[in-house]
Structure 1
């Protein structure tokens, strides 16, 4: 099914007419914008161990996903090798972070904690660093752990008042107190002791009241909760935030009942309503899947609680809701859309089944100040009829502009592009505040966003029509030879699996003759990007692409997670390949063999979906002001000739999150207006890059050629003297890539133990030239050096490092204990940049991570290493100036 504008959307005023768009009766999602349900909370964007080390995930991913709360490892914790709260707090609090939770039991390396046994007094702890000697000292061991962890937060954190300390995690499960009848008194006494010790440490540092969360049960436990609340009320030790977990498939139907029971219990006990955090929610099947995530988001937003996605795999990827080191998967975009509602009020949404499992659900919100209304929805295979009412004429007028975007599954590691507009309307009539929109559904796993504004100056229909042509097909719908279609039942295995787009994928692609073919019509001669969503389990692999039975290149896959049967072949990534096609019909054939005789290395790769996108004209992607995040006083303007633009002045800021499917240069085009001589400052990923200027009043189009990184790029817009920005467009400029210098590891100068390894082609590696430099770091002398050939000038650069890191440390029942490796960059003897490099699943599989650097000389070599630990293995490094040439401005 195409995800482009060919998927028509019917829109009518509510006059009783039946839309012709849907082939079957659509499901109705009713949204009443006049019935407000409270300020948008945004708490469901929380994550458990979503952060690994600094920069894993990158700041652009964190900010864009609007993460407001997270639970991380305690200082000195040994449960996991990364995720220390104090080490990641700067990135978390940088923009939207509010509450940093600590799992205090994660001091222990075992799962369940301490072997599942409540500690006694068998150790004596050093309260300075958490080390211990065997032998008791008259103090409960865990109380000593509580003291030194709390002390570390109080003294090492720059923002201890923004921490929430969670002493117990799943105490009703295998963690110390499963027998409530026999262990209730023990737990209650321990709760009191822990509560008082935390407050004692906080008082020691004049920090006031420490926020403590509990009890942290595996599920809603009414008997335990009653006993704990009664005891805590009587002993002045009520938790500041009440927490429990909602994990299973059925919790989508039962959560609201649990929430209501808890609130009723509070009222019965005479306790004022406490904040709630559902500190773990969702199963493997829900992560990275927009149509699943929106069902959870809608429940938690409706009840105005915070909630955190569960930690099923490894730290540092927002619970499987990012792709690659800096990329978005479809789940990330649903987080981003959810965060975009910040600043508005939620409204009444009535789905067909309010408390159902795997059903249509949604969130509606209105931002009166900016005259913007939004609906997010997903979770059904049926087409959806949006029954919209309460559109206040004083806010929206009698004619509105509407844009609808579609966000289809790309796999946990599959790179998602900016979700395309599938329908747009200029000046749609609103009758009595009502509107109906019938929207075709790609599949139940897709998510959708609708934005309504008053009529804008820009032509939203023309902007939508100007999007790059694209088409897609499910792998199971291709012509298959030597391969098998597998159904991925979303309710099988208790939710312990990753879902496939369309509910099916293609596997057993393990014969010489295995192939999957798609006959597709393309609109014009040009270059197209083929993207294949598939799973390469634990090793990189390859397929051959044939076009009309002629060889057209190799599809190179990076390795994907293959920890166990839950992830093997199902934790899907993406591979991209550019191919030139003439206008008309072509048969694209994905094959396991390039010569018909031998299989390509590691070609037994599952196929989920294949997409084709026209990129010949630079794949222009427009980001309208109606979708900007408006910060520090910025607002949408609804008068004059730039209606719907973002008005900026002084410290006002507009943020947007632009996708680069490939690292390289893009013409960043800003459409804006001014009433006098003015300028717009453009910052990318936290660094100022360009300033575009106009010498008087008018409407302007300014362009700067800027280096963008693969994945998500956070772009910030400001204007000291005042401007109204209508939109920003990114246009790929491959010709400009000649300004970048690529240096293979085998051409670098090697120092100390650093050495080059040549990989056999049979490994299926995606290393360029099948070679890399390893044994870098773990001592200042073990490094690689890059001469200043081709970039002999001071200035701002991006260093894109193609690297491998498959290091793990320790054992865990289900979490791969990944280590984020640090790489430091020196110019001569001065450090100019550093970054942590996340897991790549295999030492033969290479990803990319960009480090921004400012160089002050023209001739000092760049030295890459790590004085204290091993650095990642390096395939190559690309050095690119962040800005090429001078920005231009022309009247429009």
Structure 2
């Protein structure tokens, strides 16, 4: 969708204190270094579209912008390229599968996996109308069946099997969007038809995902019907996917809440546990370093893959790495040129770079503040003797604390103090340039370690700001 340029906000102030008498329970996040959770996977480093449809020989957005932040998942199907997809005829479909193929090749060159959007290949991309044909209209499945056979044939012909995840439809619960004017019952039949048609035509290494609902994951709305249908129909996907968008903040429809909901509902409806992906996260107003740190923290806590949502239209949809980068003729002004260069990093891009390059070693356990608005993700690298942590809020300012527990002992006697260097990652406007020297140190303090614990305080005066904290024995 189109949206107006977001206004610039003042840079946040942060204060740290070297001694705090007690943690404030509802405003304290906890990091426990005694509980490790395997090596970092960068669960949050995926993008919806955002990759120019150029040949794999060309990296219009310079490759370093991808590699330096560890992009590992892409998602696309040629939405809003010329033509109307399968519903517009063979030539229109071929333009879309070619777009998806080039995106797939770029993601695979990065070692990542790619979600292929069947609904976009069909032509449901936000520009379709209720008068356009949809699968199963009037009980006719012939065109849809031919479409599925063609998609499977192209996947195999192009060699798009390694690292591929086929998504059967996007947001079929939102019939004003990509399932225009159709019923949920018709989608269930579409789901079953697609699953059973595609599964025998594709290698086992190709995964099938869904349902990719936009509706809050809960025991209500479209979810109970889909759980029951997938179980009865024998069409349980290899990966569960859904969106986390439009949440009011704090507890509610955010990653932590919805991921815990999924586990309970799978038990209730008798479905097996499978890998999970929040295949769209963040509305435009929350695409900033503070919210990114907040969301990444929950994705890591629940071992859930995440892909940044993309709210651009037309050629811009296939550009900007889902707004992690900008360029001179971006949509903030001037005439947009889909093939132009001159890209720069945003504040969020720098935060993702820290997430990928600095958060090495092993992941350690963390707990969100009990008010639900402040979250952290931390790693510990024993070879470097260093912890690395990101922190941010979900649209809220205030005083928050990070309780560091079971800090690793370094040296023969162990350290009795830690040095914490805190940097702030600013957001100065939508797709606006942020240079590396604008990622500033806002605190450099030594904290006493008592019984393996230390307490760090952050005063967040601007919720768009994300933070990194480097933790060293002092």
- TM-score surpassing 0.5? yes
Note the aligned Cα RMSD (angstroms).
Answer: 3.5
Q: Please tell me whether residue 320 in structure 1 is matched to residue 340 in structure 2.
A: no
| 1:837-848 correspondence to structure 2 within 5 Å | none
For 2:403, which of 366, 387, 394 is the aligned residue?
A: 387
Q: Pick closer, same or farther for the CA change 1:371–1:86 going to 2, 3 Å.
A: farther
- The unaligned stretches of length 5 or more in structure 1 are 19-25, 123-137, 456-892
Higher relative contact order (CA 8 A, sep 6+): 2
Match of 2:376 in 1: 362
Q: 1:65 aligns with which of 66, 69, 79?
A: 69
Give matches, 1:194-205, under 5 Å.
Answer: 194-202=194-202
Cα gap change, 1:77 to 1:43, in 2 (>3 Å) = farther
Report the counterpart of residue 240 of structure 2 in structure 1: 242
Structure 1 residue 448, shift from structure 2 partner: 0.8
**Counterparts of 2:78 and 2:155, CA distance in 1:** 8
Secondary structure of the residue aligned to 2:325 is coil
Q: Partner residue of 2:333?
A: none
Aligned to 1:553: none
Q: Which residue of 2 aligns with 1:144?
A: 146
- Name the TM-score, length of structure 1 as normaliser: 0.43
Change (3 A) 1:411 1:435: same
Q: Structure 2 vs 1, CA of residues 373 and 179 (structure 1 numbering), >3 Å: closer, same or farther?
A: same
The CA deviation string for residues 460-516 of structure 1, in whole angstroms up to 9 with x for no partner, is xxxxxxxxxxxxxxxxxxxxxxxxxxxxxxxxxxxxxxxxxxxxxxxxxxxxxxxxx
Q: What is the CA–CA distance in structure 2 between the aligned matches of 1:212 and 1:77, rounded to whole Å?
A: 27
Displacement after TM superposition at 1:235 (Å): 3.6
Q: Give yes or no for contact 2:37–2:362 (8 Å, CA) kept in 1.
A: no
- 1:105 aligned partner: 119
For this pair of structures, how many residues does the alignment match?
416
- Distance between the aligned counterparts of 1:250 and 1:13, measured in 2? 34
Alignment deviations for residues 791-836 of structure 1 (CA, whole Å, 9 cap, x no partner): xxxxxxxxxxxxxxxxxxxxxxxxxxxxxxxxxxxxxxxxxxxxxx
Deviations 1:552-601 (A, max 9, x none): xxxxxxxxxxxxxxxxxxxxxxxxxxxxxxxxxxxxxxxxxxxxxxxxxx
Instruction: Give how far 1:13 is off.
Output: 5.3
Contact 1:13 1:430 (C-alpha < 8 Å) held by counterparts: no
Which residue pairs with 2:425 in the alignment?
A: 407
**Equivalent residue number for residue 841 of structure 1:** none
**By how many angstroms is 1:161 displaced?**
2.4
Distance 1:447 1:330 in 2: 9
Residue 64 (structure 1) shift = 2.0
CA contact (8 A) 2:385 2:472 kept: yes
Mapped partners of 1:2, 1:77: distance in 2: 41
Which of the two has greater strand per residue? 1
Structure with more helix by fraction = 2
CA distance in 2, matches of 1:342, 1:118: 49
**Compared with structure 1, are the counterparts of its residues 279 and 2 closer, same or farther at alpha carbon in structure 2 (3 Å cutoff)?**
closer
Q: Is the 8 A contact 1:406 1:447 kept in 2?
A: yes
CA-CA distance at 1:101 after TM superposition: 0.2
In 2 relative to 1, CA 160–385 (structure 1 residues): closer, same or farther, beyond 3 Å?
Answer: same
User: Does residue 1:91 correspond to 2:92, yes or no?
Assistant: no
Where do 1:12-91 residues align within 5 Å?
12=18, 16=21, 28-36=28-36, 40-54=40-54, 55-73=59-77, 78=83, 84-91=99-106
Specify the SS of the correspondent of 2:61: coil
SS in 1 for 2:199: helix
The equivalent of 2:277 in structure 1 is 277
Shift of 1:32: 2.7
- Structure 1 counterpart of 2:435: 417
Aligned in 2, Cα 1:187/1:58: closer, same or farther, shift over 3 Å? Answer: same
Q: Is the 8 A contact 1:51 1:72 kept in 2?
A: no
3-state SS of the aligned residue for 2:432?
A: coil
Cα separation, partners in 2 of 1:381 and 1:225, compared to 1, 3 Å: closer
> How many angstroms apart in 1 are the aligned matches of 2:84 and 2:469?
42
> Deviations for 1:437-470, whole angstroms, at most 9, x for unmatched residues?
3345452211110011345xxxxxxxxxxxxxxx
Q: Return the alpha-carbon distance in structure 2 between the equivalents of residues 109 and 350 of structure 1.
A: 41
Q: Contact 1:118–1:176 (CA<8 Å) still a contact in 2?
A: no
Q: Answer whether contact 2:107 2:113 (CA < 8 A) is retained.
A: no
SS at match of 2:321: coil
Distance, in Å, in 2 between the alignment partners of 1:103 and 1:370 is: 42
Distance of 2:18 and 2:320 partners within structure 1:
41
Structure 1 residue 49: Cα displacement: 0.7
